[in-house]
Amino acid sequence: MVTNPRTQARTSAIKPLNAPTPVTVSADDRGMPLSVSYGNRLHKVAAVEDMWKINDEWWRGPEKEIERVYFHTRLVDGRPITLFHDLAIDTWFRQ
């Protein structure tokens, strides 16, 4: 069991895990990612291994609706990466 340090918890120390990061994606006519740029490098996508779409919070109105298409991809170097296209704001993110 961990003992209580009896110090005040700092909210500045709380950070979200796996927060989405904006990236630049080159996609084909169907919207499938071909390459992704992050960290000042271009990474080619070797395969899209899974794809799913999320439509959520539509009852809150168009400005708060979540509409995303997710892609679990594998880069040419073998690394897996999950990307999503936020259709509400037309922006790509790395998850």
- DSSP category for residue 67: E
Residue 33 within any structural domain of the chain: yes
d(CA 12, CA 56): 29
Residue 24 within any structural domain of the chain: yes
Residue 7 within any structural domain of the chain: no
pTM of the model: 0.78
Residue 12 within any structural domain of the chain: no
d(CA 12, CA 24): 29
Residue 60 within any structural domain of the chain: yes
Print the domain residue range for 85.
Answer: 19-94
For the stretch 19-64, pLDDT in tens is: 899 999 999 999 999 999 998 999 999 999 999 999 887 777 767 7
d(CA 64, CA 78): 36
